[in-house]
Structure formats: C-alpha cells, structure tokens
C-alpha cells in the first residue's frame, strides 16, 4: 500500500514510525503547506496538501493519513480535500492492545501501548496516543485526541473534536462535550459542556468558549 502522510512535522515522525512497522506499507511522500509545489526530496514526493487529488491519479493503491495533532486542522483538511473514506487508512501500532469487539474509524491512528477494551467505539481521524487507555463501552466521536497516558474509564462519551491532556483521567459514565480541552493531569468527575477548558483535580471549568471550535 502506498501512503501519503499529510503533515510533515513532529507528529508525522511518530506516524511514520508506525507505517514502517508494516512491510506491506510504503511511505511515498508528505503533503504539507510549507511546500509550494510538488517536488522530490530524498526519493519522496513532497508537496502542498491541495496536491492530494493530483497524486491519486499518479499512484495505484494510494491511501492518506493526516499526521497533524491539532483537531481543528485535521477536520479542516478532511473538509478541504473532500475525499471519500476509502482513501484514508487506519494505523494501529503492533504493540497496541485492541479488543476484537472494539471498532475504530478510518483515518484514526493508535500509538504503541495504547489499550482499547471491549465494545469501545472510536470515530474517524482520531489520535489515540501512546499508553492511553479506553475502557469498555466508551465512545469517542470524530477528531478526538487522547494525549499520552490518558485514561478513559468505562462507558464514557467524548464528543467531536475534544482533547484529553497527558495523564488525565475521566471516571466512568461521564460525557465530554464537543471541542473541549481537558488539561494535563486533570481528573474529570463530572460531565463537561461543549467548548470549554477544564483543569485540575477534580477538574474545574476555567473557560467556557470556543477553545478549539470546528
């Protein structure tokens, strides 16, 4: 499978490492708006994001993965490209632990040592970062980002575009609103509304406005 990585920064390095663990995958290039035109760099195609459709015509069995950590930017790119879902691959590191009953959407990346347990449902274009845990029956909507070592207990719902900071914990049966940010190390013991920033233990809402609105 030929894979173009969208984004060519720090996060793309981690995504590229996952791709390289699979012998049947090949990185053929990177798309990032720091490139003004398509060019060859170190035997790889590099070009602006808008070149995606042009490259589809030049490659067979081509897939894309968006390797950009910002949730708003990932959603904006998906909207801009308007590609059908089959053009996006899902990447799961071989050291991740995934229940056979879990469901993972297209364009999502699961990092090493992440755990996704029974009947969890992960949406499209999510980032499940290293050593994060998603317990049974939890549901993450599209464009969610779990930072390293975050813990999502059972039957939690995280709505579109929200981000859970490194080392944060959400206790069971809670709902996190859309485009909400949970700070590093926070402990969430209550439902959280849309478009807010919550920090601390227990987590308290510090801002209630569009912190990462889509």
Cα–Cα distance, 122 to 162 (Å, whole number): 13
| Predicted TM-score of the model (pTM) | 0.94
Catalytic residue, candidates 93, 136, 145, 191? 136
* 119 plus 185 within the same structural domain: yes
Cα dihedral 11, 12, 14, 17, rounded to 10, equals: 180
* 201 plus 114 within the same structural domain: yes
With H, G, I as helix, E, B as strand and everything else as coil, classify residue 49.
helix
* 155 plus 55 within the same structural domain: no
213 is a domain residue: no
Which residue range is the domain that position 37 belongs to? 2-87
Average pLDDT, the chain: 95
Q: What is the chain's length?
A: 214
8 A C-beta contact, residue 81 and residue 49: yes
8 A C-beta contact, residue 194 and residue 162: no
* 158 plus 59 within the same structural domain: no
8 A C-beta contact, residue 142 and residue 154: no
Cα–Cα distance, 193 to 87 (Å, whole number): 33
Q: Left, alpha or beta for 24 (phi > 0: left; psi -120 to 50: alpha)?
A: alpha
| Residue 54: closest CA among 30, 36, 38 | 38
* 81 plus 118 within the same structural domain: no
Q: Which domain-ending residue is among 87, 103, 132?
A: 87
For the stretch 158-204, pLDDT in tens is 999 999 999 999 999 999 999 999 999 999 999 999 999 999 999 99
Active site residue 136: yes
For the stretch 55-114, pLDDT in tens is 898 887 899 999 999 999 999 999 999 999 999 999 999 999 999 999 999 999 999 999
Paired strand residues for 176:
158, 192
Write the DSSP symbol of residue 96: S
Q: Left, alpha or beta for 43 (phi > 0: left; psi -120 to 50: alpha)?
A: left
């Amino acid at each position: 499978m030929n894979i173009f990585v969208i984004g060519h920064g720090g996060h793309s390095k981690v995504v590229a490492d996952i791709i390289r663990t699979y012998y049947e995958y090949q990185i053929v290039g990177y798309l990032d708006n720091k490139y003004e035109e398509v060019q060859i760099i170190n035997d790889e195609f590099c070009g602006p994001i808008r070149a995606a459709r042009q490259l589809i015509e030049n490659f067979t069995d081509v897939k894309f993965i968006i390797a950009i950590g910002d949730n708003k930017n990932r959603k904006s790119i998906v909207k801009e490209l308007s590609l059908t879902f089959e053009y996006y691959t899902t990447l799961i590191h071989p050291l991740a632990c995934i229940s056979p009953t879990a469901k993972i959407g297209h364009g999502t990346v699961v990092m090493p040592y992440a755990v996704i347990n029974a009947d969890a449902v992960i949406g499209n274009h999510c980032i499940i970062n290293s050593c994060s845990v998603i317990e049974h029956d939890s549901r993450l909507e599209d464009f969610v980002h779990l930072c390293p070592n975050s813990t999502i207990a059972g039957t939690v719902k995280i709505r579109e575009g929200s981000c859970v900071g490194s080392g944060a914990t959400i206790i069971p049966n809670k709902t996190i609103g859309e485009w909400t940010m949970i700070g590093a190390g926070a402990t969430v013991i209550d439902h959280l509304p849309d478009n807010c920033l919550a920090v601390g233990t227990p987590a308290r809402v510090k801002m209630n406005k569009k912190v990462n609105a889509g």
